[in-house]
Chains A and B, each alone.
Chain A
Amino acid sequence: MSAGIKDKVAIIGMGCSKFGERWDVSADELMIEAFEEASKDAGVDTSQIQAAWLATQLEEINVGKSALPLSVALRLPNIPVTRVENYCASGTEAFRGAVYAVASGAADIALAMGVEKLKDTGYGGLPAMSAGTNMNMRGPNNTAPGSFAQLASAYGAKHHVSKAEVKRAIAHVSAKSHANGAINPKAHLQKAVSVETIMEAPMIAEPLGLFDCCGVSDGAACAIITTPEIARRMGRKYIVTVKSLQLALSSGTESEFNGWDGSYFLTTRIAAKRAYEEAGITKPREQVSMMEVHDCFSITEMVTMEDLFISPEGGAIKDVMDGFYNADGKVPCQIDGGLKCFGHPVGASGLRMLYEMYLQLQGRAGNRQLKDPQIGLTHNLGGFPYQNVSSVAIIGKLGR
């Protein structure tokens, strides 16, 4: 394995817009809102940024193609700006670009920005998208909930868990995130919801009901990256560094080769293993302080607990029901409310997750603050269980 990214770059500023139905603003204003917070946090203005990355997924109904929307919105001083798109991992992909630019020495200070303006699409849920010329001719007219819902049927069959048990466990996943989101002023949905309400909600895609699905929101989030040395020179006291940054993509085996059983994310397991190795984590269940995972749907979060090797295989339901991932549990998950309460403005989500981990590591998370977290993990899952892009990022205090 390569030397890895551990402690080579520091996050010196982050910003996150209010997420929600932002009828009054466009994507450029969302980006400015996030950037102004990050800029103030870092003590860095646009003249100091040497390279930038923009993540946005649905460019045609959103900001438009290329990275120009970011460059123009922030009036960046003619620096290299790159747009990235990798499904729901796009935000983390922008972060990767900025992190590697700084690590390579190509830039001293770099910006990663993610934005999406979903509420201009008119859709409930993500809009229908082309799957590409060939897949359009043969693939089902699937939606995201319909694709992820299948995890439940396969997980239940594999672990001999009844449909009712799965349904109740995933309702607990959503209830926990709603409880967390209820006290987060930047969340879209700031309301606690009971397990019963969740279980009785209208069906979206069997067995996922309305509350098993994340919200549909507008939002932007960003990070300003530099080296630990520059961060120290800038007078930063608590330096948050990147411990690992991993991405694993399907190669077609899950969807075309008999083997994978449909109950887990092959790519997440691979990305997680690499990430722990890069970060020097040997016992994730003990060493990871907190997580923000890709809870596009409650079932996604539940199986991801096993794929990240926090819960043992087949043990996620027990951990969920035991409150292991609750705010007062051993490894709080979605402490900010997750995609469940923030919604999923695709390009922004990965950076929004990092934002919460970054605040928590610095003790700046207000009424959500956890006790002395050391290591925060974020995870994105783009695409579908059977063909996807999975990212795992780990950040923590410098020297840990």
Chain B
Amino acid sequence: MVGITSFGAYIPKLRLNRKSIAEANAWGNAGLKGMAKGQRAMCNWDEDSVTMAVAAAKDALRGVKSSAISRVFLATTTAPFLDRQNAGIVSAALHLGHEIASMDITSSQKAGTTGLIAALDIAKSGEDNILFVASEKRRTKAASSQEMQYGHGAAALLVGADKPVAKLLASHSRTVDFIDHYRAEGRDFDYQWEERWIRDEGYMKIVPPAIDAALKKAKLKADAITHFVMPTVFPAVTRSIGKAAGLADKALRDTLGDNCGDTGVAHPLLMLVDALQDAKAGDKIMVAGFGNGCDVLIFEATKELEKLKGPRGVKGGLANGREEKNYNKFLTFNDLITKEFGIRAEADMPTPMSALYRKNDMVLGLIGGICTACKTPQYPKSDVCVNPECNKTHTQEDYTFADKAAHVMSWTADYLTFTLDPPGHYGMVEFDAGGRFMADFTDVAVGDLDVGMPVEMVFRVKSVDERRGFIRYFWKAVPRTA
């Protein structure tokens, strides 16, 4: 039976204090004061839907060989590239190899659940180890309700038939051209319609029939559902839907509004991961995704769930936060204000596509070399071993640095260099098993770093070529979390 064989999640470390949004904007929109509770997850300047997808996937793939992955899906409405496969970037970062299928799924808030159903359908044909990632970084206008309600985040699921931790019992989909919001080609922001209409004509009329249909397919009564995953930015709506469908009150899952916010396409999956982290064998988990229609999936947790160790998931992500009280930083990171960055921001360094392709493993996969003669790991891989006692030529094999433990050898906090988040932290990162290179640190505040501190590598935006609209990705070091 097909289902979910592993899961992971990623919530950016930075959590914007909602009070800071209200304090800056209530003068013009007093309504924001009432929403000024808790925190919302916000991407650092160097995070986007692709980098979060990689982080969530890394969480889900602990202990899974990258070569085992058969296919990668990325669901998002906030893909950094409109025409360059974003799932392909994820695949390159995870070093999944070239012999896999990949697809971006987009254009609706239910892309996460719709895509997951498709992945499960493919698994039914016998394909195992399908990596399904949903990631979202929705841009919102300053002082909007959405700025308060939304969050950034990603969830990753491994789909297949090999010892699922949650098996699929049934799913049902509905397609309705209901426009609660839309974002047209070339537009920066969503256009929203009235919330009360969305609630009454949208959620309340579109979701319950899908729940009924799914329950029928699963031959389950509504009260059998132990966890009901239904993201909305209006908690009352989740309750009303649950009630309408006959679900138990205690089954309603927390929508993670307090300290994460609604992560759009990723949110049903993020909440599913959260539920899986709480679930016990036999629990029935219903996941609903709303957006121009509705998807409902019903899973049953299995005994395998207890054996799955390692994912940080939503719990780990929520625990690893740092409060940001500076609303200006949020505006800056999300390009919502025009800011002076000085002459260093003008430096023009185009990326030759030919060179990037040639060095794709090195740059996106953080693949270096290990000398087969002296066993020295080294980055970058070279035709001449860097070990001065060896220097043998043409002896190197690929060596993955992305998952290796490392520590800080030297560091600085640079106030002169251009970065959206000064000071720029960088230094020599030394890998415990061998190899080192000068790397950026990210998600660190002044005073965090010290020589010898353990770090791990994360996939991030290195810089943005504004002139050519190109995003350069690379790996950075962050203080290691448990």
Interface of A toward B, CB cutoff 8 Å: 122-125, 127-128, 130, 133-134, 136-143, 145-147, 149-151, 153-154, 156-157, 202-206, 251-253, 255-258, 261-262, 384, 386
Instruction: Tell me, in angstroms, the Cα distance from A262 to B419 when the chains sit together.
Output: 24
Interface string of B411-454 (1 = CB under 8 A from A): 11111111100011011101100111111100000100011100
By Cβ-Cβ distance, the 5 closest A-B pairs, closest first, are: A146-B414, A128-B347, A150-B410, A140-B426, A206-B413
23 chain-A/chain-B pairs, Cβ below 8 angstroms: A128-B418, A134-B362, A137-B472, A137-B474, A138-B362, A138-B380, A138-B437, A141-B463, A142-B414, A142-B417, A143-B414, A146-B414, A147-B438, A151-B410, A153-B410, A153-B450, A156-B451, A204-B414, A252-B386, A253-B386, A256-B379, A258-B430, A384-B438
Contact call B436/A146, Cβ cutoff below 8 A: no
Instruction: Tell me, in angstroms, the Cα distance from A360 to B434 when the chains sit together.
Output: 48
Chain A residues with CB under 8 A of B144 = none
Closest residue of chain A to B413 (Cβ to Cβ) is A206
Chain A residues with CB under 8 A of B413 = 203, 205-206
Chain A residues with CB under 8 A of B328 = none
Instruction: Tell me, in angstroms, the Cα distance from A123 to B418 when the chains sit together.
Output: 12
Closest residue of chain A to B434 (Cβ to Cβ) is A258
B42 to chain A, nearest CB (A): 22
Contact call A205/B416, Cβ cutoff below 8 A: yes
Contact call A386/B438, Cβ cutoff below 8 A: yes
Within the complex, which residue of B352, B388, B410 is in contact with A133, where a contact is CB–CB below 8 Å? Answer: B352
Q: Tell whether A205 pairs with B418 under 8 Å between CB atoms, given A133-B355, A140-B439, A252-B386.
A: no
Within the complex, which residue of B349, B359, B434 is in contact with A130, where a contact is CB–CB below 8 Å? Answer: B349
Instruction: Tell me, in angstroms, the Cα distance from A205 to B422 when the chains sit together.
Output: 11
Closest residue of chain A to B385 (Cβ to Cβ) is A257
Q: Tell whether A206 pairs with B412 under 8 Å between CB atoms, given A137-B472, A251-B388.
A: yes
Instruction: Tell me, in angstroms, the Cα distance from A386 to B409 when the chains sit together.
Output: 11
Question: Does residue B319 face the partner (Cβ distance < 8 Å to A)?
Answer: no
Instruction: Tell me, in angstroms, the Cα distance from A253 to B386 when the chains sit together.
Output: 6
Contact call B438/A261, Cβ cutoff below 8 A: no
Q: Tell whether A125 pairs with B359 under 8 Å between CB atoms, given A153-B410, A386-B428.
A: no
B241 to chain A, nearest CB (A): 48
**Contacts of B311-368 to chain A: CB distance below 8 A:** 343-344, 347, 349, 351-352, 355-356, 359, 362-363
Question: Does residue B192 face the partner (Cβ distance < 8 Å to A)?
Answer: no
A204 to chain B, nearest CB (A): 5
Instruction: Tell me, in angstroms, the Cα distance from A150 to B450 when the chains sit together.
Output: 11
B93 to chain A, nearest CB (A): 13
B138 to chain A, nearest CB (A): 28
Chain A residues with CB under 8 A of B380 = 134, 138, 256
Contact call A205/B410, Cβ cutoff below 8 A: no
A272 to chain B, nearest CB (A): 19
Chain B residues with CB under 8 A of A384 = 438
**Contacts of B361-411 to chain A: CB distance below 8 A:** 362-363, 376, 378-380, 382, 386-388, 409-411
A139 to chain B, nearest CB (A): 6
Instruction: Tell me, in angstroms, the Cα distance from A146 to B428 when the chains sit together.
Output: 11
Instruction: Tell me, in angstroms, the Cα distance from A136 to B462 when the chains sit together.
Output: 10
Within the complex, which residue of A133, A149, A386 is in contact with B414, where a contact is CB–CB below 8 Å? Answer: A149
Contact call A146/B416, Cβ cutoff below 8 A: yes
Chain A residues with CB under 8 A of B378 = 256-257
Contact call B412/A256, Cβ cutoff below 8 A: no
**Contacts of B9-43 to chain A: CB distance below 8 A:** none
**Most A CB atoms within 10 A — which of B343, B428, B472?**
B428
Chain B residues with CB under 8 A of A386 = 428, 438
Contact call A256/B351, Cβ cutoff below 8 A: no
Contact call B412/A153, Cβ cutoff below 8 A: yes
Contact call A128/B388, Cβ cutoff below 8 A: no
Instruction: Tell me, in angstroms, the Cα distance from A203 to B438 when the chains sit together.
Output: 21
Instruction: Tell me, in angstroms, the Cα distance from A322 to B92 when the chains sit together.
Output: 56
Contact call B386/A257, Cβ cutoff below 8 A: yes
Contact call A146/B412, Cβ cutoff below 8 A: yes
Chain B residues with CB under 8 A of A149 = 412, 414
B290 to chain A, nearest CB (A): 41
How many residues belonging to B are interface residues under a CB distance threshold of 8 Å? 52
Chain A residues with CB under 8 A of B388 = 251, 253, 257
Contact call A146/B409, Cβ cutoff below 8 A: no
Within the complex, which residue of A133, A137, A142 is in contact with B426, where a contact is CB–CB below 8 Å? Answer: A142
Contact call B423/A205, Cβ cutoff below 8 A: yes
Instruction: Tell me, in angstroms, the Cα distance from A242 to B409 when the chains sit together.
Output: 39
Within the complex, which residue of B382, B427, B437 is in contact with A153, where a contact is CB–CB below 8 Å? Answer: B427
Contact call B423/A206, Cβ cutoff below 8 A: yes
Instruction: Tell me, in angstroms, the Cα distance from A386 to B435 when the chains sit together.
Output: 14
Instruction: Tell me, in angstroms, the Cα distance from A139 to B475 when the chains sit together.
Output: 10
Q: Tell whether A154 pairs with B409 under 8 Å between CB atoms, given A142-B414, A258-B430.
A: yes
Chain A residues with CB under 8 A of B410 = 150-151, 153-154, 262
B356 to chain A, nearest CB (A): 6
Closest residue of chain B to A121 (Cβ to Cβ) is B343
**Contacts of B36-75 to chain A: CB distance below 8 A:** none
Chain B residues with CB under 8 A of A258 = 430-431, 434-436
Instruction: Tell me, in angstroms, the Cα distance from A6 to B344 when the chains sit together.
Output: 44
Instruction: Tell me, in angstroms, the Cα distance from A345 to B278 when the chains sit together.
Output: 64
Known: A140-B424, A202-B415. 18 other contacts (CB 8 A): A133-B352, A136-B349, A140-B440, A141-B417, A143-B416, A146-B426, A147-B438, A149-B412, A150-B427, A153-B450, A203-B415, A206-B413, A206-B446, A253-B386, A255-B438, A256-B379, A256-B380, A384-B438
Chain B residues with CB under 8 A of A123 = 343-344
Chain B residues with CB under 8 A of A124 = 416
Chain A residues with CB under 8 A of B347 = 127-128
Contact call B436/A256, Cβ cutoff below 8 A: yes
Instruction: Tell me, in angstroms, the Cα distance from A142 to B431 when the chains sit together.
Output: 20
Contact call A256/B435, Cβ cutoff below 8 A: yes
Chain B residues with CB under 8 A of A145 = 412, 414, 416
Instruction: Tell me, in angstroms, the Cα distance from A142 to B441 when the chains sit together.
Output: 12
Chain A residues with CB under 8 A of B428 = 150, 154, 255, 262, 386
Chain B residues with CB under 8 A of A141 = 417-419, 424, 426, 440, 463
Q: Tell whether A150 pairs with B474 under 8 Å between CB atoms, given A123-B344, A206-B423.
A: no
Contact call A153/B438, Cβ cutoff below 8 A: no
Chain B residues with CB under 8 A of A261 = 409
Closest residue of chain A to B474 (Cβ to Cβ) is A138
Instruction: Tell me, in angstroms, the Cα distance from A97 to B312 when the chains sit together.
Output: 60
Within the complex, which residue of A122, A147, A257 is in contact with B436, where a contact is CB–CB below 8 Å? Answer: A257
Closest residue of chain B to A206 (Cβ to Cβ) is B413
Contact call A153/B411, Cβ cutoff below 8 A: yes
Closest residue of chain B to A256 (Cβ to Cβ) is B386
Instruction: Tell me, in angstroms, the Cα distance from A261 to B474 when the chains sit together.
Output: 25
Chain A residues with CB under 8 A of B416 = 124-125, 143, 145-146, 204-205
Within the complex, which residue of A147, A204, A256 is in contact with B415, where a contact is CB–CB below 8 Å? Answer: A204
Chain A residues with CB under 8 A of B435 = 256, 258
Closest residue of chain A to B356 (Cβ to Cβ) is A137
Chain A residues with CB under 8 A of B427 = 150, 153
B6 to chain A, nearest CB (A): 30
Instruction: Tell me, in angstroms, the Cα distance from A75 to B185 when the chains sit together.
Output: 61
Instruction: Tell me, in angstroms, the Cα distance from A133 to B359 when the chains sit together.
Output: 10
Chain B residues with CB under 8 A of A157 = 451-452
Chain B residues with CB under 8 A of A128 = 344, 347, 418
Instruction: Tell me, in angstroms, the Cα distance from A142 to B388 when the chains sit together.
Output: 27
Instruction: Tell me, in angstroms, the Cα distance from A311 to B284 when the chains sit together.
Output: 72
Instruction: Tell me, in angstroms, the Cα distance from A253 to B435 when the chains sit together.
Output: 10
Instruction: Tell me, in angstroms, the Cα distance from A262 to B379 when the chains sit together.
Output: 17
Instruction: Tell me, in angstroms, the Cα distance from A140 to B387 when the chains sit together.
Output: 23
A81 to chain B, nearest CB (A): 31
Closest residue of chain A to B379 (Cβ to Cβ) is A256
Instruction: Tell me, in angstroms, the Cα distance from A127 to B417 when the chains sit together.
Output: 10
Chain B residues with CB under 8 A of A203 = 413, 415, 423
